[in-house]
Amino acid sequence: MNPASSDTFSVWAPAAEAVGLVLDSPDADPVPMHRAPGEAGARGWWASDVPREPGRDYGFVLTGDDGEVTDPRPDPRSTRQPNGVHGLSRVHTVDAARWTDHAWTGRQLAGSVIYEMHVGTFSEDGTLDGAIAHLDELVELGVTMVEVMPVNAFNGEYGWGYDGVAWFAVHEPYGGPDAFQRFVDACHARGLAVCLDVVYNHLGPSGNYLPVFGPYLSAADGPWGSGLNLDGPDSGEVRRYIIDNALRWFAEFHVDALRLDAVHALHDGSAVHLLEELAVEVEALSAHLGRPLSLVAESDQNDPRLVTAREGGGYGLTGQWDDDVHHAIHAAVSGERQGYYADFGVLDALRKVLTGAFLHDGTWSSFRGRVHGRPLDTGRVPGSRFVAYTLTHDQVGNRAAGDRPSMTLSPAQQLAKAAIVLCSPFTPMLFQGEEWGAGTPFCFFTSHPEPELAEAVRQGRVREFAAMGWDPDTVADPQDPETFRRSKLDRAERAREPHARILDTYRALLALRREHPELGDPWLGGVRVETGSEAADERWLVLHRGRLALVVNLGTEPCRVPVAGTGLLAHDATVDDDEVFCSAYGFAVVRTS
């Protein structure tokens, strides 16, 4: 039995010579703890006979082999940090009596329409309760799953959440764990599934006390700091720490899916990769709870093994984000070719990703300077396992000024991109405000209280964007409170033109996808794409989905496309009996003859 699941205080600290439990105040005298007996003790667990009473504050002091005693530190498995990530932990238990979602049976990833949300900027309040007030807008739009950027506790008042250090706790400025319970319950009451973004590849730079307790971190540094010890000595408890965290969101907070951040940074040489082990345990929990549970990876590897079934040699994850689809669509419409867009933009690249998910599938990547990716077996892996989008928090916030496509592209260009994603064989995802072409930026913002860390983040962003060719003077200062405030959505835009017209078109596209099974068919083998001749400056594309076809002009001049049928939806386009006339970036969805 894992001592962490007991009703008394316990903690894993395999290298400590002694551990004391501090109760109620950091100045209290520590209560000595004892090594847990038997197998658990051999794994380095320390236990106490003191019961875990809800609402009680506590921490641990550890004595090292040099005799040094630490200050009181929060519990690595803390479920609440009411005084920030440096303060004492507080015992918190999710109150099962508060749930009203007893009739909720869950939602599969396949067939879903995802909406990515950042709690701090989605509403004026910047809280989970503030987000609840706008959930009906998402239902009306046609969204069926809300993906929430990380809510685990991090230092500072606001930020993106990817520098969390208390993985089991909910960020207090968002409302804490009770507010997250209310949010999930409110989503389920409206038929919305909840996907939570979690980060298991690194920890934030402030408040990370895990190394004080044990060998949680590896010696290898990743792009955001030290990675997790997944295959070294004592890695079994570290893996258990991650898996228990994932299972807690599903079982205790009733979430329906987890988005696993940057899994390519999980360095694991074990025979059974952490992702496969996690998939096995989540599948077992799904069977126990009687509702579908999904794992969706973010990966830079273009490796279909992530979403290939375990019996087929894969890890068995439910889905993965697909940046190649984004890059192909954005480059084709915007004309951008800097950085990782260099290999994209031509119509043949767009054709390839729409029929095979990846552009780089064992091909040369000029941005990386090497061969990248692995081919996808389109007969075995459905398109619904790939999440497609025209923008995400990364693709906006990791631009120098946090500028959305709406700031540089016309409404017609924005809608042409949306039409391709929403008529594709993939699982579509929108980013907050995209549906009305929000004019507010979404910048990278932080609120690190430590001056040295704040300056390091500022300089790091400037260096990063300089390497991408952006003018350093355009880089938004992540520590400036105004950078955060400017990133909040302005819902008053929704009633003004051209935003209202963009919103109406998004609604119509999502209704079309909902009403016509052809558009939700995930079989990639049934997708057919025709394109014009770029040599002849014919930048049109026809995406065939059964008897439906999306005709879209990706050029700056009007064009006529020889597709016969009946128009179901058109924007800046007209449908005749034997052709579709599209203005620049116009599109039409046609039922073919």
Where in the sequence numbering do the catalytic residues fall? 261, 298
Question: β-strand 152-153 against 166-170: which pairing, if any?
Answer: antiparallel
Tell me the C-alpha distance between 418 and 112, whole Å: 16
CA atoms lying within 13 Å on the CB side of residue 210:
26
Q: What Rg value do the Cα atoms of the chain yield, rounded?
A: 25
Tell me the C-alpha distance between 88 and 526, whole Å: 56
Question: β-strand 427-431 against 527-531: which pairing, if any?
Answer: unpaired
Which residue reads 């550890």 in tokens?
A: 62
Phi-psi region of 339 (alpha: psi -120 to 50; beta: other; left: phi over 0): left
Residue 288 CB partners (closer than 8 Å, separation 6+): none
Strand ranges, E, within 64-171: 89-90, 114-117, 145-148, 152-153, 166-170
Provide the token pair at 505.
């078109």
CB-based burial label for 521 (10 Å; 0-12, 13-18, 19+): middle
Among the residues of 335-450, which ranges form H helices?
347-356, 393-397, 411-422
DSSP-assigned beta bridge partners for residue 540: 553
Tell me the C-alpha distance between 120 and 223, whole Å: 25
Q: Find the helix packing angle between 411-422 and 323-334, rounded to 10°.
A: 150
Phi-psi region of 492 (alpha: psi -120 to 50; beta: other; left: phi over 0): alpha
Q: Which amino acid is at 542?
A: V
Tell me the C-alpha distance between 469 and 464, whole Å: 9
Could you give the dihedral angle defined by the CA atoms of residues 60, 197, 486 and 462, in that order, rounded to the nearest 10 degrees? 80
Phi then psi for residue 150, to 5 deg, are -50, 135
Phi then psi for residue 188, to 5 deg, are -60, -35
| Interior angle at CA 113, CA 109 and CA 116, nearest 5 | 100
DSSP letter string, 224-271: TEEEE-SSSTTHHHHHHHHHHHHHHHHHTT---EEEETTGGG----SS
Phi then psi for residue 42, to 5 deg, are -65, -25
Provide the token pair at 301.
């590897």
The neighbour count for residue 271, using CB atoms within 10 Å, is 7
